Amino acid sequence: MDDRRAVRDGSGPAIERGPGFVRVRAMAAARRVLQARSSTAQAGFTAEYIPQGPLKNRPILISDGPQHDEQRRKLGRFFAPAVVERRYTGPIDEAAARYVAGVVAAGECLVDELALHFAVDVTRDIVGLTASDVPGLSRRLEAFFNQPPFDLTKPGLGRTRRQWAQAAARGLGPIIAFHLRDVRPAIRQRRRGRRDDVISHLLDEGYSAAEILVECLTYGTAGMVTTREFMAMALWHLLGNLSLATRFRGADRPGRIRILEEIIRLDPVVGNLYRRATASVQLDDDEQAGAGDLIDVCVREANHDAEAVGPEPHRLDPDRCPVKGVRPVGLSFGDGAHACPGQSLALLEADALLIRLLEAGARIVDEPTLTWDDLVAGYRLRGFRIAFS
């Protein structure tokens, strides 16, 4: 049985070698790569193409080593699971109720728009991007994804000169707009008076305006926008499976979170994670990646590894019992030093919005169109329209 909604051709051997790269599809080998702190470096999200010179403080998404560890430790005050539950449950529930009331009153909505505005509204308060309106901030974050295709396993990302020119032209405008309309006004507010948010923390740490801009880009693109896709995918599963929706509505919050964990294991938003081997990495008893190799961790295939997650890995089963050491979400939020710090927040947001949409009698009017995005190596769902009974 195959319950996947986002299916992309990724079949192949557990470990596959190509010119200058190694592709890993087995869960055990993938976890070894992601946990190899001293012998790999971040190579995803075009990290190797971001100039290091101007930035004393590397963005948390692409930094490595002691600096990265210290950044993660200090940001625990915002994203640790216990902190998320204690500080954000109430505000997230209130925001979800407000957004759902609005779309119910309108009679219908596009799920991708609703989910984006909701995710941006919640996360901007934590980050500190509160000097601009939610719709405008949402539009500017979306603009970053209007980029030519690329392939990290190919020299120069596999782009032509024309595509590189397009990337520069399409990237510069959104960055300038994001800085002028969202980040700079927020920094000015915090310089007049600190608040308990990420931008205030970065100012206290001595970050420059340019470094704060890059960090906010990270939280916006790798956090808010990917959470939007997860919420849309989860709702698509729920509205297409009556028994699953009934179980979701009848469960308490931990029970609903378990269903959401299984959905994102089955259909992970980020499909590939990339590391550059700085020393040899043992993948299994026979295979290793050599220093300099690009390692492509295929999250989608690793999450469907029956030896790790149990039989019928393509079936949506909230009662699934993965083997010891494998989390219910698989590798959907990464693993090791670069595991996503926003996992608890994303699950809490999704639960708050989706339970209210189901209770309001949401039904599908237009099925979503699924496409793929190279920057996060994941899917996009657009045109997903629902109405309310």
Q: How confident is the model at residue 158 (pLDDT cuts 50, 70, 90)?
A: confident
- Would you state the pLDDT for residue 51? 65
pLDDT average, residue stretch 232-249: 98
pLDDT band at 34 (very low <50, low <70, confident <90, very high): very high
Question: Higher-confidence residue: 358 or 374?
Answer: 358
Is the confidence at residue 117, as pLDDT, over 70? Answer: yes
Q: What is the pLDDT of residues 75-108, one digit of tens each?
A: 888 989 999 999 999 999 999 999 999 999 999 9
**Across residues 297-324, what is the average pLDDT?**
96
Residue 47 has a pLDDT of: 67
What confidence tens digit (pLDDT) does each residue in 37-67 have? 889 988 776 666 666 666 677 777 677 788 8
Domains of the chain, by residue range, sit at: 15-388
Amino acid at 60: I
Return the structure tokens found at 27.
């869960």
The fraction of the chain above a pLDDT of 70, given in percent, is: 96
Question: Facing residues of 41 across strands?
Answer: 276
In tens, the pLDDT along 217-238 reads: 888 877 788 899 999 999 999 9
Q: What per-residue confidence (pLDDT) applies to 199?
A: 96
What percent of the chain is modeled with pLDDT above 90? Answer: 68
Average pLDDT over residues 187-200: 96
Cβ atoms within 10 A of the Cβ of 94, count? 11
pLDDT score recorded for residue 38? 87
Read off the pTM. Answer: 0.93
pLDDT of residue 66: 82
Burial letters 276-308, b for 16+ CB under 10 A, else e:
bbeeebebeeebbbeeebbbbbbbbbbbbbeeb
pLDDT of residue 162: 87
Say which range, 6-15, 84-93, 185-194, 243-252, has the weakest mean pLDDT. Answer: 6-15
Predicted confidence (pLDDT) at residue 315 exceeds the cutoff of 80: yes
What pLDDT is stored for residue 319 in this prediction?
Answer: 97
Work out the mean pLDDT of the chain and round it to a whole number. 91
pLDDT tens-digit series, residues 322-369 = 999 999 999 999 999 888 889 999 999 999 999 999 999 999 999 999
Beta strands at 40-42 and 272-277: parallel, antiparallel or unpaired: antiparallel
Answer yes or no: CATH 3.30.360.10 is held by domain 15-388.
no
Over range 237-253, report the average pLDDT: 98
Between 158 and 308, where is the model more confident?
A: 308
pLDDT at residue number 59 = 72
